[in-house]
Structure 1
Amino acid sequence: MNTNEKIKRRYNRISSIYEVMDKMIKAEWRLNLLSNISGNVLEVGVGTGANFPFYPTYTKSLTGVDFSKGMLKQAQEKLVKGRYPFPIRLMEADIQELPFPDDMFDTVVSTCVFCSVPDPLLGLKELKRVCKPNGQILLLEHVRSDQMWVGIVMDLLNPLTVRLWGANINRETINTIERSGLKVEMNKNLMGSIFRELSVSPNK
């Protein structure tokens, strides 16, 4: 079984309880991030749809993709129960091979996704490809701590978190963003140096 399939199975398995785990992302972080969106939005790794209530009413459209059917099922239930003043479309898709043409979206959103993407560099290059040249990519990510001893602890715990739900807690995502050709415009610490709010330019 390849890495993609292993991670899919893990997220399908925990999809019904994922929102309990997802509480680590504070509501104010989601609200601050999504208050900056514009135009047609793509959310990658949409998960259970936890971000839906935080999108502003002026959102033009939202396309949410995830490679876990279990997570998408939870998100679909939110659409049935909730009322949103903008169209939302959900699709099963892999962030490493997005089924969209180049330069399609004004804003691309990701919240704590790149910890579990098998090839994060490939995934970030896909975000760059589908984002318009004058668009923006907004991310909330947890990354390896800049503090030496905290970083070492995260390295030690990482095999356990990967085994449990496929998430790497020690990725140096900022470096990967820069390697992908994207340009970091804003890098805000939210919890020490572990959680970051990032605004990224496609830099085309």
Structure 2
Amino acid sequence: MLELGSGTGINFPLYTECEKVTAIEPSPYMIEKSLEKKKQSVVPIELVQASAEELPFADNTFDTVVATLVFCTIPNPERAMLEMKRVSKPDGKILLFEHVKMENRVLAALQEGLTPVWKKICDGCCLDRDTLELLIAHGFDVTEVHKYYRDLFIFAEAINRK
């Protein structure tokens, strides 16, 4: 299993149904912050300093890829989608929990207006990314979507149909 942008390692203790997790994170500071959560994991966690746009893994390596609130800050989300597609196995599972551009036009316009300032304050976070559309546009077969908080957050499960 691959986790993109593992941050502080908040997901590490939740992994129980896999053999091993490879977690990539571009920030050395966040990797350091995640070490305590790594100790709480019941499965081995390998931490790799890397960006989602340039994954240092062979094609078809992972049967599952997880991303939690990370696609909003990736500088080139299109490239990250291509890399995710490349490293996940054919019929590999993709699990995303992300905040996204809302469907309500007024709220979406507010997200668009706030994003330039928000990006500067919050480490590059874009409030108005349509990550679900990116997933579909890059050829992933979306099998499940759940929306939360007036569709501000989504959980999406997809299959990498190669």
TM-score (normalizing by structure 2): 0.95
SS in 2 for 1:114: coil
Q: Is the contact made by 2:94 and 2:160 (CA closer than 8 Å) also made in structure 1?
A: yes
SS in 2 for 1:110: strand
1:102 aligns with 2:59: yes
Residue 62 of structure 1 is matched in structure 2 by 21
1:187 aligns with 2:149: no
Deviation at 1:79, TM superposition (A): 2.4
Q: Tell me the C-alpha RMSD between the 2 structures.
A: 1.1
Q: Is the contact made by 1:121 and 1:177 (CA closer than 8 Å) also made in structure 2?
A: no
Deviation at 1:124, TM superposition (A): 0.8
**Which residue of 52, 57, 74 corresponds with 2:33?**
74
Task: Indicate the structure with greater strand content.
Answer: 2
CA distance in 1, matches of 2:82, 2:23: 18
SS in 1 for 2:161: coil
TM-score (normalizing by structure 1): 0.76
Query: Structure 1 stretches (4+) deviating beyond 2 angstroms?
Result: 77-80
SS in 2 for 1:158: helix
**Superimposed CA distance per residue, residues 52-108 of structure 1 (whole angstroms, 9 cap, x where no aligned partner):** 12222x32101100111110111123324x2x3321110100100100001111110
Structure 1 segment 85-164 matched on structure 2, within 5 A = 85-164=42-121
Name the amino acid aligned to 1:78: K
* Runs (5+) with no aligned partner, structure 1: 1-40
Identity of aligned residues (%): 35
CA distance in 1, matches of 2:100, 2:42: 34
CA distance in 1, matches of 2:109, 2:45: 41
Of 186-195 and 144-153, deviating more is 186-195
> How many residues were matched structurally?
161
Residue 19 of structure 1 is matched in structure 2 by none
**Which residue of 167, 170, 176 corresponds with 2:125?**
167
Residue 17 of structure 1 is matched in structure 2 by none
CA distance in 1, matches of 2:131, 2:72: 8
CA distance in 2, matches of 1:70, 1:61: 23
Name the amino acid aligned to 2:33: Q
Residue 135 of structure 2 is matched in structure 1 by 177
Residue 49 of structure 1 is matched in structure 2 by 9
Task: Indicate the structure with greater helix content.
Answer: 1
CA distance in 2, matches of 1:174, 1:134: 18
